[in-house]
Amino acid sequence: MIRLLKFIWWSCVAVFCGLLLSFSGAFLYLSPTLPSVESLRLVQLQIPLRVYSSDAKLIAEFGEMRRSPIRFDEIPKEFISALLAAEDDNFANHYGVDVTSLMRAATQLLKSGQIQSGGSTITMQVAKNF
């Protein structure tokens, strides 16, 4: 029994060390290609070109994105609550990665062979789409 416990213990230690080395290696490999934090803060939105008539009436908008920058305090609280409820219920309780949601999504994928639900957080979606 003691041999089995020692084997399990050392297996767990080996797996932990392997994961630590894997994540460290991935970070060291990817870190040179990551943008600086300052450049992420200074992102410029793609605002379409607006063409106005001589009497200041909007004639047309050109460009892919239809965005108008607003301040955070201009977003209605109800919209923020609805967005969090629909996309990331656990937003206030994690630091960008919700391990429980990832495990749930992975388990569903393994059981059914197809994607049943997502495991990404709002933070992960923003990082992917940035």
pLDDT of 19 higher than 90: yes
Q: What percent of the chain has pLDDT over 70?
A: 95
Are 44 and 91 found together in one domain? Answer: yes
Are 83 and 101 found together in one domain? Answer: yes
| Cα distance between residue 60 and residue 57, in whole Å | 9
pLDDT digits (tens, 9 = 90+) for 96-105: 888 888 999 9
User: Domain range for residue 80?
Assistant: 35-129
- Helix, strand, coil percent values for the chain (each to nearest 5): 60, 5, 35
Q: Are 65 and 48 in contact (CB under 8 A)?
A: yes
Domain count, the chain: 2
Are 47 and 79 found together in one domain? Answer: yes
What's the mean pLDDT in 85-92? 86
Q: Are 85 and 67 in contact (CB under 8 A)?
A: no
Q: Which residues lie closer than 8 Å to 50 by C-beta, 6 or more apart?
A: 58, 60, 61
Are 19 and 53 found together in one domain? Answer: no
Are 9 and 39 found together in one domain? Answer: no
